[in-house]
C-alpha cells in the first residue's frame, strides 16, 4: 500500500530543493551520490524534495527483491546515507515522490527498507514523507511538484495511483526489466528516443561481438511487450485500484477531488493499451521489414529467390523512415510543457516542477529539474530551487570529485 501522503500545510513557509532523476544504483553512480551528499550538506535550510527516480530499481531488477535492492543501494553510498540521516536527525524533512523507476519507495515495504538503510529511529522515520503521485507545497499549495511520467505514453500507468505491480508495467519499465537489466545494456537507455538503426549501430560500437546477443534480447523483449499489450493488458484492474485511492489522496494534498480527477484524466493513454501502438513504438514494422530484406537479399545473392521481396522490403523501410523519421522525439517534453500550462490555469499553481525527461528546461513558471545523475551537456548537475515566495529557478551543482557517474 502507499503511505505517508505529503500534506500541503506542513511545508507552507519554507524553501525547497528539488532534485530529480538521480538514478542511484550499486555500481554506476558513485560520483552522483557523493555530489548529492555535498549539495544536501551545503543547504540545510531547504526542505529536500526528490522528484522521482532517486533510485533506479528497474536497472537493478535482476539482482534481488526491490526491498533488498533499496538497502543495498543506500549502503553503497555512504556519504549520501550520512547526509540524509543527519538531516533527518536534525529535524528536517525529506519528501520523496514516486518515479517510474522507484515507485516501490512509496509503499510501506519500500519506505521501511529505505529508513532501515539509513539507520533511523522511529521519530526520524516520521520525517520522511512520500507521495505516489504529486505534492502541492507552498503557502496555499500553489507549488505543484511531480515526476511527470504520467504524461508520457511509454511510461504512464492506467491510473497514476495504481500501486506498483508487474502486471501493468508500462512499456518503458517492461523493457527495463525484460531487456536492459538482463542484457546489461544500460548504456542504451538514455538513447531511447533514437530509431532502431541508430541503436543497432550503437550496440555494435558498445558491445562488439556481444551485439547480436544484445539485439536478440531486445527483439525477444519487444515480442513479450507486444504479446502483453492491448486486451491482455489489465488496465481496468489498475484503474479500479487507483480510483479507490484517489479520495484519500485528494484530501491529503489539499485539492478538491474533482480537480484531482481532472489531473488524472489529463494523463497520456499508456502505449500498452494498444498492441498496434506498442508495435509501432518499438518500430517492429521497420525491424521486420529489415529482417525480410536481409534474408531475401542474402538468398538472391547466392542465386536463390527473393530479389523482388528484398527490394520491396527495403523500399518499405526507406518509405517508413522518409515519411515518419523519428516518430517520438520530443513527445514527452511537449506533453509536460502543456500539462504545466494547464496546471497553472486550472489549479492556481504558481510554479510547476517536473522531472523525468532528463533535460533542465523551462518556460514561464514551469521548470524541469533535469537529471542530477545524467547531466548531459549541462554546466553542472541540474536541480531546481524554490524560494519561500514560490519562485522556482534552475541551479547547477559543479562537482569537484572525480571518477564514475
295-302 long-range contacts (CB < 8 A, ≥24 apart) are none
Q: Which three cell numbers stand for residue 360?
A: 533542465
β partners of residue 16: 47, 386
Does residue 289 sit within a domain?
yes
Share of the chain above pLDDT 90, in %: 63
Q: Count of CB atoms within 10 A of residue 275's CB? A: 18
Instruction: Report how far residue 373's alpha carbon sits from residue 370's, in angstroms, rounded to the nearest whole number.
Output: 9
Outline where 208-306 has alpha helix (H).
211-227, 235-253, 257-265, 275-281, 284-301
Q: Count of CB atoms within 10 A of residue 45's CB? A: 9
Does residue 293 sit within a domain?
yes
Does residue 173 sit within a domain?
yes
Range 72-93 average pLDDT: 95
The DSSP code for 180 is I
287 and 386 in a single domain? The answer is no
pTM of the model: 0.87
115 and 172 in a single domain? The answer is no
Q: Is the pLDDT of residue 286 over 90?
A: no
260 and 350 in a single domain? The answer is yes
Give me the pLDDT at residue 328, please: 60
**191 or 24: which leads in pLDDT:** 24
Mean pLDDT is lowest, of 144-148, 214-218, 224-228, for 214-218
Q: Which three cell numbers stand for residue 202?
A: 550503437
281 and 316 in a single domain? The answer is yes
Give me the pLDDT at residue 287, please: 56
pLDDT band with cut points at 50, 70 and 90 for residue 101: very high
Q: Is the pLDDT of residue 176 over 60?
A: yes
Does residue 403 sit within a domain?
no
Give me the pLDDT at residue 201, please: 67
Q: Count of CB atoms within 10 A of residue 100's CB? A: 24
155 and 170 in a single domain? The answer is no
145 and 279 in a single domain? The answer is no
Give me the pLDDT at residue 382, please: 97
For 232-252, write each residue's pLDDT tens digit: 999 999 999 999 999 999 999
**Total domain count, the chain:** 2
184 and 297 in a single domain? The answer is yes
Q: CA-based Rg of the chain, rounded to a whole angstrom?
A: 22
Which range marks the domain in which residue 180 is found? Answer: 166-227+274-324
283 and 391 in a single domain? The answer is no
86 and 205 in a single domain? The answer is no
Average pLDDT over the chain, rounded to an integer: 85
Does residue 404 sit within a domain?
no
Q: Is the pLDDT of residue 294 over 90?
A: no
Contact criterion met (CB below 8 Å) for 102 and 59: no
Does residue 141 sit within a domain?
yes
Give me the pLDDT at residue 63, please: 87
For 137-167, write each residue's pLDDT tens digit: 988 889 999 999 999 999 999 999 999 999 9
Does residue 405 sit within a domain?
no
321-325 long-range contacts (CB < 8 A, ≥24 apart) are 321/195, 321/286, 325/195
66 and 114 in a single domain? The answer is yes
Mean pLDDT is lowest, of 50-54, 90-94, 104-108, 281-285, for 281-285
155 and 172 in a single domain? The answer is no
31 and 176 in a single domain? The answer is no
For 42-74, write each residue's pLDDT tens digit: 988 899 999 999 999 999 988 889 999 999 999
Specify the CATH number for the domain of residue 256.
Answer: 3.60.21
CA–centroid distance for 15 within its chain: 25
Does residue 181 sit within a domain?
yes
| C-alpha dist (Å) from residue 172 to 219, 275, 294, 383 | 14, 14, 28, 24
For 318-362, write each residue's pLDDT tens digit: 555 544 555 567 889 999 999 999 999 999 899 999 999 999 999
Give me the pLDDT at residue 98, please: 97
Amino acid at each position: 500500500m502507499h503511505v505517508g501522503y505529503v500534506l500541503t500545510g506542513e511545508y507552507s513557509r519554507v524553501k525547497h530543493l528539488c532534485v530529480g532523476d538521480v538514478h542511484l544504483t550499486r555500481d554506476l553512480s558513485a560520483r552522483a551520490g557523493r555530489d548529492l551528499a555535498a549539495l544536501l550538506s551545503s543547504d540545510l535550510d531547504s526542505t529536500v524534495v526528490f522528484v522521482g527516480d532517486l533510485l533506479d530499481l528497474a536497472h537493478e531488477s535482476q539482482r534481488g527483491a526491490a526491498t533488498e535492492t533499496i538497502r543495498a543501494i543506500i549502503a553503497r553510498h555512504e556519504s549520501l546515507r550520512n547526509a540524509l540521516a543527519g538531516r533527518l536527525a536534525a529535524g528536517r524533512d525529506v519528501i520523496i515522490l514516486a518515479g517510474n523507476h522507484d515507485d516501490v519507495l512509496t509503499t510501506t515495504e519500500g519506505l521501511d527498507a529505505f529508513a532501515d538503510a539509513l539507520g533511523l529511529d522511529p521519530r526520524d522515520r516520521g520525517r520522511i514523507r512520500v507521495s505516489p503521485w504529486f505534492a502541492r507545497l507552498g503557502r496555499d499549495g500553489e507549488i505543484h511538484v511531480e515526476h511527470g511520467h504520467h504524461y508520457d505514453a511509454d511510461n504512464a500507468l492506467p491510473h497514476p495511483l495504481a500501486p506498483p505491480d508487474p502486471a501493468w508495467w508500462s512499456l518503458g519499465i517492461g523493457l527495463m526489466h525484460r531487456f536492459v537489466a538482463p542484457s546489461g545494456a544500460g548504456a542504451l537507455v538514455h538513447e531511447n528516443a533514437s530509431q532502431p538503426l541508430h541503436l543497432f549501430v550503437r550496440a555494435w560500437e558498445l558491445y562488439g561481438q556481444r551485439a547480436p546477443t544484445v539485439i536478440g534480447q531486445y527483439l525477444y523483449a519487444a515480442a513479450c511487450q507486444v504479446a502483453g499489450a492491448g486486451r491482455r493488458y489489465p488496465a481496468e484492474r489498475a484503474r479500479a485500484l487507483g480510483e479507490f485511492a484517489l479520495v484519500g489522496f485528494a484530501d491529503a494534498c489539499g485539492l478538491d477531488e474533482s480537480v484531482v480527477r481532472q489531473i488524472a484524466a489529463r494523463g497520456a493513454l499508456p502505449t500498452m493499451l494498444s498492441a498496434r501502438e506498442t508495435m509501432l513504438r518499438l518500430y517492429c514494422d521497420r525491424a521486420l521489414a529489415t529482417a525480410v530484406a536481409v534474408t531475401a537479399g542474402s538468398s538472391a545473392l547466392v542465386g536463390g529467390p527473393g530479389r523482388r521481396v528484398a527490394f520491396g522490403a527495403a523500399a518499405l523501410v526507406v518509405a517508413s523512415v522518409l515519411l515518419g523519421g523519428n516518430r517520438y522525439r520530443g513527445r514527452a517534453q511537449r506533453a509536460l510543457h502543456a500539462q504545466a500550462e494547464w496546471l497553472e490555469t486550472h489549479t492556481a499553481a504558481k510554479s510547476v516542477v517536473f522531472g523525468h525527461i532528463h533535460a533542465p528546461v523551462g518556460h514561464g513558471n514551469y521548470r524541469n529539474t533535469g537529471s542530477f545523475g545524467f547531466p548531459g551537456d549541462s554546466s553542472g548537475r541540474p536541480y531546481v530551487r524554490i524560494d519561500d515566495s514560490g519562485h522556482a529557478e534552475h541551479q547547477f551543482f559543479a562537482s569537484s570529485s572525480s571518477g564514475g557517474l
